[in-house]
Chains A and B, each alone.
Chain A
Amino acid sequence: MSDPALESLYREVILDHYKNPRGHGVIEDADAEAEGQNPLCGDEVSVYVAFGEDGETIDDVKFSGRGCAISQAATSMLMEMTKGRTAQQVAELDKEELLAEIGVPLTPVRLKCAMLGLTTLKVALHKAKGTPLPEGLAGFDDLELT
């Protein structure tokens, strides 16, 4: 890669998370789960959460689905970031924290890709624990809240 813009967007850590996603899989009998779609491109992510004995701390979190490198890598990073936090902490997780982790400049369209996993996870927690829904949910018309 010689193009600086290309190099910065598809930097190695993004490609590494895309090719070797962390926390990829399904948790059977999950305590919380949700399915999210990005209607712009058809990306799909399902997240599964298992809580620890206190019923609040995320003991395990996994995701499945398919999508572009940005959506899948961001969700993979999110799995590492959220394990061990409480539902309330994740509900309050600022998207800037995830964006800092992703660490590449994103156009508005790709921002939706990057946020798909976080939004879906917050929806899952909302359904299971009544924690606040994520900001900007209106952009995700296809999120299945049922």
Chain B
Amino acid sequence: MAVTAHAKLDARALRRDFPIFEQEMHGKPLAYLDSANSSQKPRQVLDAVDRFYETSYANVHRAVHLLGERATSALEHARVRVRELLNAPDAREVIFVRNATEGINLVAYSWGLNNLGPGDAVVVTELEHHSNFVPWQYIARRQGAEFLMLTIDENGDPDLSELEAVARDHTVKVVATNLVSNSLGTIHDLAPLVSWAHEQGAIFVCDAAQAAPHMKVDVRAIGADFVAISGHKMCGPSGIGALWGRGELLRAMEPFLLGGHMINSVRVDKTTWGELPHKFEAGTSPIAEAVGLGAAVDYLEAVGLDAIEAHEHELAAYALGRLAEVPGITLYGPPAERRAGVVSFNLGDIHPHDVAQILDLQGVAIRAGHHCCQPLMQKLGVAATNRASFYLYTLPEEIDQLVDGLHAVRKVFA
């Protein structure tokens, strides 16, 4: 990967945009290594949300007054920014949802309930976040369809040699995988799976929640039919995400949530659905949150997604090198050049909860647990792992602080 070709970002300068770093934790500098769980928010996003509430807030799409117009225009501007970020053909194909989980549930319910049946199969991988696993497992079972899981190797790559048997024995209707793994950090080359899915006549659903914060996600280049992202992982507010779907599929689908705003006309004998995207946005939207997401897109594009990706590869390489110095450590996942800023590890047989708690007392915030990836944990033969994850504001000395902390953990359990 031509990392050196990209403009470098200045993490130290960017860090000053994030007010949360102005405080200490337990009297120690904060090393926030939990960005894959949720990212911190820059002043630019916080200000955009405040400004919107202070000057332009009203409900959208229905008020005649000027504030209503301003609010609607701010919401729709955010939709256009998300369309541009994802290189989607049409802003009407961008549906605002709470998060990627809700986006995938929308597809599973609205598409799955009308297109899946006995003899059909949904294919996921062993590396899915529960958000792209459990909805498919549930809807497949409800429809009497098969739910199949491709096994992965130690890098997190699915075993494509299993595809032939899957195609022989099943009518594959859905293939659902992540673009970047939240637990191993693996950046996938989805092209072979996308082509295979389309050869089967299946739809391809891409969970891009962990990819969108870190690299350019181009829905046309991926060739997917649905792509879901979460705002909170990419410097945006919590409670807002987006689902992009192919217009012809979205138009043919039944709605997911029903109620206000998503209708064309309502009569006691028949209700007709609104046009895209409204058909899928029942009730009052998280308006200010969407405005915040639009501001987050502005922020990420100003920093440069190429520069963010390069910064994370550098940090991942540095972290893998430094962590390997810690006696008794087990590192999981692919080599640095194939991973986003995520490093999962275990320290001997010390439980990740204990590791994370001792690190916390030293100002180091990491995730400990199953990362909503219990099938992966079963594969690795562990109950849980520790995960350190990095973002555009992460500094190498935070990784040093982590390594020092791990030595302290070893001392406690010596």
Residues of A bordering B, CB below 8 Å: 1, 3, 5-6, 9-10, 15, 40-44, 66-71, 110, 113
* Interface pair A42/B354, CB less than 8 Å apart: no
* Interface pair B362/A15, CB less than 8 Å apart: no
Within 8 Å of chain A (Cβ to Cβ): is B361? Answer: yes
* Interface pair B357/A9, CB less than 8 Å apart: yes
Q: Which residues of A contact B352 (CB under 8 A)?
A: 41, 68
A-B contact pairs, 18 of them (CB 8 A): A3-B361, A9-B361, A10-B358, A40-B369, A41-B352, A41-B353, A41-B384, A42-B369, A42-B370, A42-B377, A43-B353, A66-B351, A66-B383, A69-B351, A69-B353, A69-B354, A70-B354, A110-B357
Flag B13-34 by CB within 8 Å of A: 1 or 0 each: 0000000000000100000000
A5 CA to B361 CA, complexed, in Å: 7
Residues of B bordering A, CB below 8 Å: 26, 350-354, 357-358, 361-362, 368-370, 374, 377, 383-384, 408, 411-413
Q: Which residues of B contact A6 (CB under 8 A)?
A: 358, 361, 408, 412
* Interface pair B351/A68, CB less than 8 Å apart: yes
* Interface pair A43/B354, CB less than 8 Å apart: no
Closest chain B CB from A127 CB (angstroms): 24
Q: Which residues of A contact B369 (CB under 8 A)?
A: 40-42
Q: Which residues of B contact A66 (CB under 8 A)?
A: 351, 383
Q: Which residues of B contact A5 (CB under 8 A)?
A: 26, 361
3 smallest A-B Cβ distances: which pairs? Answer: A68-B353, A68-B351, A42-B383
Closest chain B CB from A28 CB (angstroms): 25
A1 CA to B352 CA, complexed, in Å: 19
Q: Which residues of B contact A3 (CB under 8 A)?
A: 361-362, 408
Closest chain A CB from B32 CB (angstroms): 18
Closest chain A CB from B364 CB (angstroms): 12
Q: Which residues of A contact B412 (CB under 8 A)?
A: 1, 6, 10, 15
A68 CA to B408 CA, complexed, in Å: 17
Q: Which residues of B contact A10 (CB under 8 A)?
A: 354, 358, 412
* Interface pair B353/A70, CB less than 8 Å apart: yes
| Most chain A beta-carbon neighbours within 10 Å: one of B26, B369, B383 | B383
Report the nearest A residue to B370, measured CB to CB.
Answer: A42
A44 CA to B368 CA, complexed, in Å: 15
Closest chain A CB from B101 CB (angstroms): 16
* Additional A-B contacts beyond A42-B369, A110-B357 (18; CB < 8 A): A1-B411, A6-B412, A9-B361, A10-B354, A10-B358, A15-B412, A15-B413, A41-B351, A41-B353, A42-B370, A42-B377, A42-B383, A42-B384, A44-B383, A68-B353, A68-B354, A69-B353, A69-B354
Closest chain A CB from B357 CB (angstroms): 7
Closest chain A CB from B25 CB (angstroms): 11
* Interface pair A67/B383, CB less than 8 Å apart: yes
Q: Which residues of A contact B358 (CB under 8 A)?
A: 6, 10
* Interface pair B374/A42, CB less than 8 Å apart: yes
Q: Which residues of A contact B361 (CB under 8 A)?
A: 3, 5-6, 9
User: With A68-B353, A69-B354, A110-B353 in contact, is A43–B383 under 8 Å at CB?
Assistant: yes
A40 CA to B354 CA, complexed, in Å: 14
* Interface pair A41/B368, CB less than 8 Å apart: yes
Report the nearest B residue to A7, measured CB to CB.
Answer: B412
A115 CA to B383 CA, complexed, in Å: 18
Report the nearest B residue to A110, measured CB to CB.
Answer: B357
Q: Which residues of A contact B351 (CB under 8 A)?
A: 41, 43, 66-69
A44 CA to B358 CA, complexed, in Å: 21
